[in-house]
Amino acid sequence: MNKAQLIQHMASSLNQSKASTKLALDEILRQIHIALSEGEKVFIPQFGTFELRYHLPKTGRNPQTGETLEIDGYNQPSFKAATAFKQAVNGE
């Protein structure tokens, strides 16, 4: 399912227009993005947690030249599903 299909399903389920549903979904995603960029976790009960995970700097190697180089550390967005969500997906 892509974003357009999600909006269509949400709009029909909520009896809303696609335009208003798209605005609502865009705002939810924007708020998650803002919270993560500020270092906050976003916890949605019965669904899961969005958070940043920091990956430490490491040493790598250029495969063409064999030269050693330093790879900077970085933040990676991640999602951890709630137990209730996992159970619902697995039909438990």
Q: What is the third-level CATH fold of 42-92?
A: HU Protein; Chain A (4.10.520)
Sequence-separated (6 or more) residues with CB below 8 Å from residue 52:
36, 39, 75, 76, 77, 78
Residue length, the chain?
Answer: 92
pTM recorded for the entire structure: 0.78
Q: Comparing C-alpha atoms, which of 50, 54, 92 is closest to residue 72?
A: 54
Q: Is the pLDDT of residue 92 over 90?
A: no
Tell me the domain boundaries of the chain: 1-40, 42-92
Q: Comparing C-alpha atoms, which of 69, 47, 49, 51 is closest to residue 59?
A: 69
| Residue 60 · residue 45 · CB < 8 Å | no
Q: Look at residue 81 in the predicted model and tell me its pLDDT.
A: 95
pLDDT tens per residue, range 16-31: 999 999 999 999 999 9
pLDDT tens per residue, range 56-85: 999 999 999 999 999 999 999 999 999 999
Q: Look at residue 91 in the predicted model and tell me its pLDDT.
A: 86
Cα 90 off chain centre by = 21
